Amino acid sequence: MLALKEVGKTYPNGVHALERFSAEIPPGEIIAIIGGSGCGKSTLLRAIAGLDRASTGNVTLDNAVISSPHAKIGIIFQEPRLLPWLSVADNIGFGLTDLSAQARRERIAVALARVGLTDKAAAWPRELSGGQAQRVAIARALVPQPEVLLLDEPFSALDAFTRRDLQDHLLDLWADTRPTLVLVTHDVDEAVVLADRVLVMRPRPGRLFEQITINLARPRDRKSELFDTFKRRVLTALDRSLDRSVRDVTDKSSAGEAMWW
């Protein structure tokens, strides 16, 4: 169980990015975190990954506090971040240092086949298209078989067709070992296609605004009416989350004005 307990983050420059975010995510659940820019989505994900430490509260995985990168937590970034000096195969095997060479090769071969890039094993990252590179990044993160996989807007740099293809592909890969997925996105469609639960955040400081459970059977039909209903629900929540924060700001400023007068 991945548990976030009142996680807050204030950066050294004083920016209050995240405030008292709590959630419990059982194993195998797919969570999408969605919200306007500056609502602390990425901050939250980095705290779960152990890349940045939370200022308040804590993140625990099976009751162990996460304060630095953890073997059971993998992450996929917005960019593939492949190491340009390693072949595709070596990039995928980057995290498999404690295996024998033979076992490592086998695991890499399976992963390559799984993401459909067997013929690219010896290629350099620069020879891949954007979608292929992101597949390699997915394979690299999944090959050590993490219990939790974090995704920070992983498909946002791709064109719409490739994005859809990779969303389906991700679900397919997820079904192999069913890790917990925590996906940060700003794409409502993506959130509803992938997630069991959508957490809508509101900005300044980032806070949990609303949770929407998507109880739609998979594979989900993007054109179905029910799908649209869920999308609309998430969109409405998003709108409200932004509206309210806007009103907060105007309230404050008008209060300030009143005092000034």
Residues 156-195 contacting other proteins, CB under 8 A: 159, 161-162, 165, 169, 172, 175-176
* Residue span binding other proteins (CB under 8 A) among the ranges 59-67, 77-85, 192-200, 245-253: 77-85
Cβ contact 33:199 at 8 Å: yes
CA–chain centroid gap for 46, Å, is 10
107 binds other proteins (CB under 8 A): no
- Rounded Cα distance, 25 and 3, in Å: 6
Quote the least distance from Cβ 176 to other proteins, whole Å: 7
Residue number, 97 or 258, with CB nearest to other proteins: 97
- 3-state DSSP helix/strand/coil percent for the chain, to nearest 5? 40, 25, 35
| Beta-bridge mates of residue 4 | 23, 59
For residue 27, whether the previous peptide bond is cis, meaning omega lies within 30 degrees of 0, is no
Q: Which of 6, 22, 27, 51 binds other proteins (CB under 8 A)?
A: 51
Number of residues in the chain: 261
Q: Could you list the residues that contact other proteins (CB under 8 A)?
A: 49, 51, 68-71, 74-75, 77, 79, 81, 83-86, 94-95, 113-116, 124-127, 129, 131-132, 159, 161-162, 165, 169, 172, 175-176
